[in-house]
A and B are shown apart, each in its own frame.
Chain A
Amino acid sequence: MANRTVIPFGPQHPVLPEPIHLDLVIEDEKVVEAVPQVGFIHRGLEKLVEKRDYQTYVNITERICGICSFGHSLGYAQTVEALMGVEVPRRAEFLRVIWHELSRVHSHLLWLGLLADGFGFENLFMQCWRLRERVLDIFERTTGGRVILSACNVGGVNQDIADEDLRGIVVVLDGLRPEYSELLNTFLYDRSVENRLGGVGCLSKKDAVDLCVVGPFARASGISEDIRSYGYGAYGALAGFEPIVSTRGDGYARCEVRALEVLQSIDIVKELVDKIPDTPIAVPVKGAPMAGSCAATRLEQPRGECYYYTRGNGTKFLDRFRIRTPTSQNVAGMVATLQGCDLADVPLNVLTIDPCISCTER
């Protein structure tokens, strides 16, 4: 019988961008059990909602994470709007989705770069991050910020994008598309990528359903679920939306789904730019949420479904704000992919679920 060894993995590890710890129980070179632990950098940002009024707190939500920053401000704003019965102008809904989809493009390009770095393809890493800069340039030109956009408010958005700038976004994306297609070709058809990711960290559709995984991680295991397909907000204006799904369930499938979602998001932005209506961009929101009122909403973040909950108490300060991030939902699935894998595949497996511990430790 093989000897069992417990190897502590993380929270500081060269391939882990953020602090998560795993106790890996190893038999020879195979992982037989993995026990995850987070909680090293818990920041108590949910608690801070008691000390900031509901309008100001949107700035805190943007700082929960440096990658999904705009998405969190959008998720918070739409939940408070549901709490107070605020109807957002149509143009604001379009602008929100445009920025949110651009955030998905930059998040996926960032992840694809990290993945390439993880399997030693340094040039691919650099090319992904080079293209990502163009998206950050769009953010800077339209909002003034590259990471923290501060564009979303309760009641709408606080800055418009002029028509010529919207056309400029389309020009940038049209220029980015052929260059990205070359990278996509490498990710999907290069033999070295397929050899490294194919068959690694498999999660069957049944396990994905049982473990309730979300986002590209779930879609790579054949679950066709994406909050965007319900048509909330400006997504309802799209001619059609079909989630990108793969049935392989391995690391390659997770790469494939995210890589194709970049093109899908570019198409969404272009379609919304074509259809954006000319309305005001915000409505004034006054007063306070009623005591005992509560609301819960979901948003498809780059890493998957994110759940937001708020409860009012009759003052400008909310009683409770809750975020359930996609990573906290995907930890059990990640552990399942680790069981039975080679020790050498652990870093790559962790990477393929695209964990965001910063969001999880809000």
Chain B
Amino acid sequence: MDPQVFIDIEPEQMRARAEAYHKRGWRFVNICGSTVPEGVELIYTFSDGEPFENLRMTVPNGATMPSVSDLYLNSFFFENETHDLYGVTFAGIAIDFGGAFYAVSVPTPMNPASAQAVNALAEARPTTSEEA
């Protein structure tokens, strides 16, 4: 079974860590978002054959993270996905779908507490005059 290596870092450290992995020739594996009470937990996974490490950090809802797609082009898939499902914005994605990556009927369906989802619900709610 794969060794379980989870390294807790601050979001500001992620970019430098990714650059270090890239410099050492490690492969980018995945970005996994999940909802936690403080916002969104992000896990970036890198691998060098059998060694396999997960960087774990928590960002507030609606946060902006630097993209790593200039280092690892294939990350564009996961950055667009995490944006559409969790509302985390990635600055400078190589192929940015601008929220149209997944055809989902509600914004950020995996993170109903995100600012994007709350705003969309507020917009959909009828105004007082309309209700009258």
Hey, which bits of chain A sit against chain B, CB under 8 A?
35, 37-40, 42, 44, 46-47, 78, 81-82, 209-213, 225, 230, 232-233, 294-298, 305, 307, 309, 311, 319-320, 322, 324, 328-329, 331-333
Contacts and interface: CB of A to CB of B under 8 A. Distances in A.
> Most A CB atoms within 10 A — which of B43, B47, B74, B101?
B74
B32 A309 contact: yes
A340 to B, nearest CB: 16
A329 B74 contact: yes
B34 A324 contact: no
Interface string B94-113: 01010011111000011000
Given A225-B49, A296-B54, A324-B32, A331 B1 contact: no
A42 B103 contact: yes
Given A307-B29, A319-B34, A322-B32, A47 B109 contact: yes
A315 B103 CA distance: 32
Nearest to A41: B103
B1 A332 contact: no
- Give chain B's interface residue range (CB within 8 Å of chain A): 35 or more
A298 B74 contact: no
Contacts of A319: 34
A212 B21 CA distance: 13
A47 B34 CA distance: 10
A271 to B, nearest CB: 21
A39 B101 contact: yes
10 contacts: A44-B109, A78-B1, A225-B49, A232-B2, A298-B47, A307-B45, A309-B30, A309-B54, A311-B34, A332-B74
A41 B105 CA distance: 12
A331 B30 contact: no
Contacts of A329: 29, 74, 77
A333 B72 CA distance: 11
B80 to A, nearest CB: 9
B50 interface: yes
Interface string B77-101: 1100000100000000001010011
B79 to A, nearest CB: 12
A296 B74 contact: no
A81 B4 CA distance: 12
B45 A333 contact: no
> Most A CB atoms within 10 A — which of B30, B43, B100?
B30
Contact of B102 (A39, A78, A232): A39
A212 B74 contact: yes
B42 to A, nearest CB: 11
Contact of B4 (A296, A328, A333): A296
Nearest to B76: A332
B34 A296 contact: no
Contact of A230 (B25, B50, B101, B104): B50
Contact of B28 (A81, A212, A296, A309): A212
Contacts of A37: 97, 101
A329 B31 CA distance: 11
Contacts of B110: 46-47
Given A211-B74, A296-B52, A324-B32, 18 more contacts: A39-B84, A44-B104, A46-B110, A212-B28, A212-B29, A232-B1, A294-B6, A297-B1, A309-B32, A309-B43, A311-B34, A319-B34, A320-B35, A324-B45, A329-B74, A331-B77, A332-B76, A333-B74
A319 B32 CA distance: 13
Contacts of B20: none
Nearest to A309: B32
B73 interface: yes
A44 B110 CA distance: 9
A332 B77 CA distance: 8
B30 A324 contact: yes
Contacts of A209: 25, 27
Nearest to A294: B6
B67 to A, nearest CB: 14
Nearest to A223: B27
A298 B6 CA distance: 15
> What are the 6 closest A-B residue pairs judged by CB atoms, nearest first?
A332-B74, A39-B102, A320-B34, A324-B30, A322-B32, A212-B27
Contacts of B25: 209
